[in-house]
Structure 1
Amino acid sequence: MLNRFMSALTGEQIVCYTPLEVNTDYEHCEVKYDGSRYRLKTSETGVLSFKINNPIRQNVLFYLDSNLSEFTHVYLNGTRINDQGERLIRGVIELGELEAGEVVVSLAFSGDKHWFTHASAAAFDTKKFGAVANKLNKGSPTSLMVSRNKFGEPIITGTLHAPQNGVIFTSVPADRGWKAEIDGKSVKPETVYKAFIALPISQGHHTFTLRYRPRGLVGGVIISGISIVLCAVLAVRRKCNPATSNSPPTAESPFCNSFEIPT
């Protein structure tokens, strides 16, 4: 998926990540698969070990989807790689440039409420990634500003020179509340891999704007307006109805005398 993502950004076939074989082993714990997760249980300190087959000297990344604590002790070939208090288990762990051969990533845990779904590893080609980054930087914004309107809603504005037709990729999470403009004209934001916002762009110099309005805001304003009107009508009815008013209408109340409120 990451390779497809990089290819989509550059318009070229890019392979920066190569999957590596991973085998799992357990020590001092019970493991039970419930159809979606591997449940872990231990009465002492359990150890999860992931053996990665690394065919050549290269940079290796490791990922584990689990609910283990962010401060779980992580070991690489028997040597702990996160210091006391260092959060490492959440997200991708960069193992660094490793020699060819078997690589073992181990995690120590305790208790009976932990689980994991899968572990994966990949070789990371830093040279190809650097080339992609350099290419993308050629079309990066020459100016960028983030502000907020009087309601506290974010506004992102910027200018850039696109060397060719393509998209402006952002790290802004995709949400239908975002509205976009290119050179003052409304455009429909695209969603990249169901996660981030991208804007179609043609070659040349452009300005762009992203504005966020939470979904339901307009409807909420309309509903609030209706509520205010209803409150006003009810207040008038109460004022004009002797049965519900503390004081009957008089000649000094021309509003009540001039209008009939339906009952």
Structure 2
Amino acid sequence: MSNALLSKENAMSDQFPVVIGICLDAEAIWTGKLPADAYRPVLLSNGAFAIKEGLKPVLELLDHHGIKATFFIPGITADTYPEALAEIRRRGHELGSHTYSHRSVLGLTPAEERQEIARGIEAVERNGGVRPTAWRSASWEWSKHTLDYILEEGVTVSCNFQDRIRPYRHFRDGLPTPVVELPVQWHLADAPFFLYGGDVQRRIRPAAEAESVWMEEFDATYDWPGAFFHLTLHVQLIGHPGRLKMLDRCLTHMRGRNRTRFLTCAEAALLVE
């Protein structure tokens, strides 16, 4: 076994990586689902909360805990709110791409998908001053072309698949690619608990329910060799006072375990051979 592989295996056993992936969708959370939603100002205000109220306390909470996160930003949000990207970057967080208009690949042609990916990355680079290498699709969906398209754009980290609790490398034609997958899980995201409105009519859950699920999973995953913990948040959902208090408790609990290491997506991907 190579020294490099031994080093990376030891790194994963000596620490428990925790990745906080935060989507700054703003209004794109609705306009990407249904173009007609662009004419629903009250519904759009639900997404605008991310910019007007949610982002500042989320950033302050991360600062309080000394945590650097990865923010996934649709290109349309980057073009509309460049000052938000500047503030996120000023505080030392990683900027990731989240397509351009937050449209699911399920309704796109191959040409449209390629454009969504390329335009989204270019918008974050143009407004954030750095080309993102971490990428999350809208609604965690891929097509048979997605891997080819993100490789063309220089993406090295994907946060979309749900098949493992350990990071891994994507292969194409039997050969390893530069793209590392940092798997996500629906029960480790805030949307199933808090997303409501438009065509999404779930029952809104108490913050304590999310806290119970997340901390139960954190404590159990902590003991699995080579595993990591990936929490997916949305500023417009988590950035409310009661939910922020819950997140504060979660982060305090995680920091209390001695092997916990908070990493950006780019940092976590470096642990994969």
**What band does the TM-score fall into relative to the shorter chain?**
under 0.3
Structure having the larger proportion of residues in strand: 1
Structure having the larger proportion of residues in helix: 2
